Each structure stands twice: as C-alpha cells, then as structure tokens.
C-alpha cells in the first residue's frame, strides 16, 4: 500500500496570487484535484498534504471521494505521519505536477502550467469522444476533468463545462454555453445560455440567451426561452417561459405558461419573498407578481395585471386601468401644435 505526501510549502514564490502551484487551476480545476484523481485511478487512496493553514480548506475540497486524506502543517506531518502511514510505502512529492496522458509532468511556474493545459484539454476531449460524445469543435470547447457527459450528446463550439456538471445522454449543449455544477437530464438542449448550480430535467429546452442562476430545479419538458432569467426557483413539468421573463424565489407547478414580460418582484429592498404558483396557471404578458403571493391551480391572470393578493384556484385576476378611447383627440392635438399627419 502506498501513501502519497504532497509538500506545498516551497512553490508559493512562483505564483502571481501567492497560492501554491498545486492550487492553481488548469481548465477550472485545481491541479491538486487533477493529481489526486490520477492517483486514485491507480489505486492510491491515502494522502497527506503539507501546506500553510490558510490553504487547508481549499486542499480539503480537492480530496476525492473514498480517499483517506489529511491536511496539516510541517509540524503536523512530523508528528503524525508515522501513525497515519503505518504499513505504507511513502512517496514524497516536492514539486508541482500535472497528469498528462499516462505521465505526471512537473512544472515550476504558472506560464509552464498554462502551456501544459493544452495537452490535458486534448486528453479530456479525446476521453469523451471515446465514450460516444460528439465534440464538434475540440479547439473551442473547454471541459473540466470533473464533468460527466452521456453518450450521444453533441457539444457545439464555444461550450465551457465546469465543476461537477453531469450531462445525460443525447443532449445538445451549445454553441456558446456555460454550465457549472449543473445536472442536465437526457435529451435536453441548452443553446447559447448560462446555468449555475441547478438541476434541469429530461427534455428541457433552454435558450438562446437564458440565464439560470443557482438553486433552480427545472422539471421535465420545461422551456426556459430567449432572455429568460430564473433564480432559486422550482418548476414542475412542462412549464413554459418562452421569452423575456424573470422568475426568482418561486415555487411553480406543472403546465404553467408565462407570457412575455412577466416578473416576480421578489425583493422589497430589505428581504426576499417567495411566489407560489399552482398547476395549469396561465400568466398573461407584462404581469407583475408581488410576493408573498399565492396563485391557485388553474387560475388565469390577465395581461398587464399587477398581482398583490392571493388568487384563488380557477379564478380570473385582472388589475389594470380600464381602457378609455377618446375619438378625435389625436387629430385635435396635431391641429393645436401645427403638425401634419
């Protein structure tokens, strides 16, 4: 059994931000995470990382699942390594390195790391292509090593996949799309949009130019269309937001239709409030929902309404100034100001 000891106390001087080289990012992922993933694939599960106390939290976040790993100072290392690595062969790592193919290549400066990125970028794309992912433009695609992509998925140019993103089978991602720490269900399409820390169900259509902010759960068959922004919201199945809509801090049912220009006014200047919308609700264009407010199942909200009170199930809510038509008013105004039609 092997125990790997990584010393991160000597390479800080070679970086621009004062962090050790092993905590610099290559394709959005700390180098230490790259190395630990490579070592665990070889069956190594025991690690001791030596670094300054201010980096302990970042180092801990790099530990792979199932690893037996600790982080400490040099004093901790000299005191604890005997017991921690008892019965193990100890391999000490004193220089920064990055796994490229089957090799671990060392580097001493950030510019050297940047040059190595191209090689690992190609390795990642090749890996996904070999598992049935169609990466249409490898030179313009950037995939974090922690990302998982299902077979039959098409990755279009300009796509950036970061963090612990999981993409299902037969999806279409891109062009010009960013996904970070997201789960995307089978058969979904994300076109020219950005999504962060959210879950998208099966057969979801996003974009173009949509923004899915953190803590969203979007049900199967939903549409998040052009220039739509959602945040900290839950949507049931087959709900549609086709264009120019903002839904934040909301619990939305299934088969809800949001008309163009709808917003939830979730912030009162001091606190955030939630909007609750039931199933089968129709929300007309240019509607303002001012929470805390609840809209019951099957309700209909007329276009141009500002909703400030709860709406009962299967009822009509309308709150706008009654239209008045004044015949000849425009003609008289033009005559007064001497303007011709």
Reading the block at residue 148, the tokens are 């998982």
Fold of domain 124-317: UDP N-Acetylglucosamine Acyltransferase; domain 1 (2.160.10)
The whole-number pLDDT of residue 322 equals 86
Percent of the chain at pLDDT above 70?
A: 97
Distance between CA atoms of residues 185 and 200, nearest Å: 6
Asked whether the predicted pLDDT for residue 9 surpasses 90, the reply is no
Mean pLDDT rounded to a whole number for the chain: 94
* DSSP annotation string for 130-143: HTT-EES-GGG-EE
Looking at the chain, list the stretches that DSSP marks H as alpha helix, in order from N- to C-terminal side.
31-41, 56-61, 74-84, 110-130, 329-337
pTM of the model: 0.89
Class in CATH terms, 2-115:
alpha beta
Model confidence at 173, pLDDT cuts 50, 70, 90, reads very high
Using an 8 Å Cβ cutoff, are 56 and 42 in contact?
no
Mean predicted confidence (pLDDT) in 293-297: 98
> In the prediction, which pLDDT does 315 show?
97
| pLDDT grade for 65, boundaries at 50, 70 and 90 | confident
Are residues 301 and 278 in contact, defined by beta-carbon separation less than 8 angstroms?
A: no
Listed in order, the ranges of the chain carrying CATH 3.90.550.10 are: 2-115
Q: Tell me the CA distances in angstroms from 94 to 5, 235, 249, one per residue in order.
A: 9, 50, 48
Q: What is the mean pLDDT of the segment spanning 149-155?
A: 98
Specify the domain boundaries for CATH 2.160.10.10 within the chain. Answer: 124-317
Residues annotated as part of the active site: 243
Do residues 277 and 261 touch, judged by C-beta distance below 8 A?
no
């Amino acid at each position: 059994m092997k125990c790997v000891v990584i010393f991160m106390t000597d390479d800080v001087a070679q970086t621009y931000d004062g962090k050790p080289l092993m905590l610099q990012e290559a394709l959005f992922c700390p180098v230490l995470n790259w190395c630990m993933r490579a070592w665990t694939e070889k069956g190594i599960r025991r690690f001791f990382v030596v670094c300054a106390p201010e980096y302990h939290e970042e180092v801990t976040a790099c530990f792979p699942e199932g690893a037996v790993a600790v982080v400490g100072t040099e004093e901790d290392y000299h005191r604890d390594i005997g017991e921690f690595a008892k019965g193990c062969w100890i391999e000490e790592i004193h220089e920064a390195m990055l796994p490229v193919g089957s090799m671990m290549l060392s580097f001493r400066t950030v510019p050297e790391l940047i040059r190595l990125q191209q090689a690992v970028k190609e390795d990642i794309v090749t890996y996904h292509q070999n598992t049935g992912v169609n990466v249409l433009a490898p030179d313009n695609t950037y995939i974090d090593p922690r990302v998982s992509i299902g077979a039959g998925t098409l990755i279009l140019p300009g796509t950036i996949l970061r963090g612990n993103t999981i993409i299902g089978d037969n999806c279409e991602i891109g062009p010009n799309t960013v996904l970070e720490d997201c789960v995307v269900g089978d058969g979904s399409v994300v076109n020219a949009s950005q999504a962060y820390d959210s879950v998208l169900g099966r057969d979801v259509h996003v974009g173009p130019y949509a923004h899915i902010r953190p803590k969203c759960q979007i049900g199967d068959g939903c549409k998040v269309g052009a220039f739509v922004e959602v945040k900290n919201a839950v949507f049931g199945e087959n709900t549609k937001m086709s264009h120019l809509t903002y839904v934040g801090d909301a619990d939305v049912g299934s088969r809800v239709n949001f008309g163009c220009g709808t917003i939830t006014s979730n912030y009162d200047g001091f606190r955030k409030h939630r909007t609750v919308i039931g199933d089968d609700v129709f929300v007309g264009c240019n509607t303002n929902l001012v929470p805390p407010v609840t809209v019951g199942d099957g309700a209909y909200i007329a276009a141009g309404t500002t909703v400030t009170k709860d709406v009962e199930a299967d009822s009509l809510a309308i709150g706008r100034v009654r239209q008045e038509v004044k015949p000849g008013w425009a003609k008289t105004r033009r005559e007064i100001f001497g303007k011709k039609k």
